């Protein structure tokens, strides 16, 4: 029997968020050879300066994603940015549109919080992520953040 999908806001330190974040990091290690070195703290995703979402199939967490507020700094962010972090879908739940639904809810939340641009970093080892963002209206932008010097890094932005 198929369970209904549900997307819920949680704190970044919620046990299911921690579990999916660890799976995302393992995926990064497998594909890139290193994990996401970006320092993240639970408070980064607390509304109204961020949001972290989990998607469930029944009672099983299967996808996640969040945004955190950024302002202009030496790493290339701009005032009003909302940075997408930890987008991940477990392999057995891929192809259901969960990442797209989470991304849309993140954009709506960031817009409601007064953010003016969504930004994100991904890379060439994740072609399906780059395809998702391109098909969701994101355009390539100058690299920012801790990966701006990496040749396989690709940054995208979308005006909200």
| pLDDT for the residue 2 | 55
SS (H, E, C) 77-141: CCCCEEEEEEEEECHHHCCCCHHHHHHHHHHHHHHHCCCCEEEEEEECCCHHHHHHHHHCCCEEE
d(CA 146, CA 99): 24
Taking only the tens place, the pLDDT of each residue in 44-68 is 999 999 999 999 999 999 999 999 9
Choose among 55, 67, 62: nearest CA to 106: 67
Instruction: Provide the whole-model pTM.
Output: 0.95
| pLDDT for the residue 146 | 87
| pLDDT for the residue 148 | 85
Q: Is the pLDDT of residue 70 over 50?
A: yes
Tokens of 132: 């998702």
Mean pLDDT of the chain: 94
What percent of the residues of the chain are helix, what percent strand, and what percent coil, each to the nearest 5?
30, 30, 35
Taking only the tens place, the pLDDT of each residue in 102-160 is 999 999 999 999 999 999 999 999 999 999 999 999 999 999 988 888 899 999 999 99
Q: How many residues comprise the chain?
A: 160
Average pLDDT over residues 70-89: 96
Task: Kindly report the number of other CB atoms within 10 A of residue 27's CB atom.
Answer: 18
């Amino acid at each position: 029997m198929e369970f209904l999908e549900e997307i819920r806001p949680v704190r970044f330190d919620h046990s299911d968020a921690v579990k999916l974040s660890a799976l995302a990091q393992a995926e990064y290690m497998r594909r890139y050879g290193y994990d996401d070195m970006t320092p993240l703290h639970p408070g980064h995703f607390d509304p109204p300066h961020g949001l972290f979402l989990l998607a469930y199939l029944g009672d099983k967490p299967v996808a996640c994603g969040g945004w955190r507020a950024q302002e202009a700094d030496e790493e290339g962010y701009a005032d009003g940015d909302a940075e997408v972090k930890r987008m991940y879908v477990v392999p057995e739940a891929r192809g259901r549109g969960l990442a797209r639904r989470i991304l849309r809810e993140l954009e709506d939340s960031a817009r409601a919080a007064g953010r003016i641009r969504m930004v994100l970093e991904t890379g060439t080892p994740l072609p399906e992520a780059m395809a998702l963002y391109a098909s969701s209206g994101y355009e390539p932008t100058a690299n920012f953040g801790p990966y701006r010097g990496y040749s396989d890094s690709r940054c995208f932005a979308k005006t909200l």
